[in-house]
Amino acid sequence: MGLANWLTVLRILLVPVFVVLLVYRKPGAALIVFAVAAFTDLLDGYVARRRGRESRLGAFLDPMADKALLIASFATLTYLRVLPAWIMIVVVSRDAILMLGALLIHMVGGRIYPRPTIFGKLATFFQILTVLFGLLARYFDFKHPLALRTVIWIAAIFTVTSGLQYIVQGMRYLHATDVVEGEARDESMLIR
């Protein structure tokens, strides 16, 4: 396991630390842990590409670590009434739908190699920004609720847009799988 994967594992291990710090009202430490976790996300991708060591394990772990950090952040900040519940529902619903779609593709015998889209990257960026603004607003007396609301709405728009984009890609993949299976069935009938 290379350095990039170790950085991803570190990010996964930082998730419960971040949640505990938030729940026990240690906002400064929580912000530092969140920043370190976000930095490891940037760093692991850079290391993997730079060293040419992109692995299947990393391709699986990296998005899982991102989702764990963001879902835990949104859930905890919603529980603490820093963020409205609807944004957490949007973020969690999109990820749940994507996981179900990936499972469905796997069940029909397909393999997917998810590649982030520009909307997916923007959704992740604005979700991280929402968490940061939420931390600043609640714990550091950031007196710009309009800025927080604006970032929340932008994150929601990109989250829904990227979710729809991934659903369309998944439907195309399933349709392509059906076409290939149908052609294979037609060819087997010709042989008989």
pLDDT digits (tens, 9 = 90+) for 137-158: 777 776 667 888 899 999 999 9
Nearest to 159 by CA among 190, 180, 131: 131
141 SS3 class: coil
pTM comes to 0.78
Ranked by mean pLDDT, the top range of 27-36, 53-62, 82-91 is 82-91
Query: How many alpha carbons fall within 13 Å on the CB side of residue 88?
Result: 19
Whole-angstrom CA distances from 124 to 36, 88, 95, 156, 159 are 16, 13, 11, 10, 8
> Regarding predicted confidence, which is higher, 64 or 73?
73
> Given this model, what pLDDT does residue 60 score?
67
Average per-residue pLDDT for the chain: 80
Check pLDDT > 80 for residue 119: yes
Rounded Cα gap, residues 98 and 104, in angstroms: 10
Non-local (6+) Cβ contacts of 190 within 8 A are none
Rounded Cα gap, residues 37 and 122, in angstroms: 18
Q: What are 16-57's pLDDT values in tens digits? A: 999 999 999 888 889 889 888 888 877 776 666 676 666 666
CATH of residue 45's domain is 1.20.120.1760
Check pLDDT > 50 for residue 184: no
Check pLDDT > 60 for residue 181: no
> Given this model, what pLDDT does residue 11 score?
87
> Regarding predicted confidence, which is higher, 79 or 188?
79
> Regarding predicted confidence, which is higher, 128 or 111?
128
Non-local (6+) Cβ contacts of 124 within 8 A are 66, 70, 116
Q: Of the given ranges (4-13, 31-40, 55-64), which has the lowest mean pLDDT?
A: 55-64
> Which range marks the domain in which residue 125 is found?
3-191
> Given this model, what pLDDT does residue 21 score?
92
- Into how many domains does the chain fold? 1
175 SS3 class: helix
Check pLDDT > 60 for residue 183: no
Check pLDDT > 50 for residue 190: no
> Given this model, what pLDDT does residue 192 score?
40
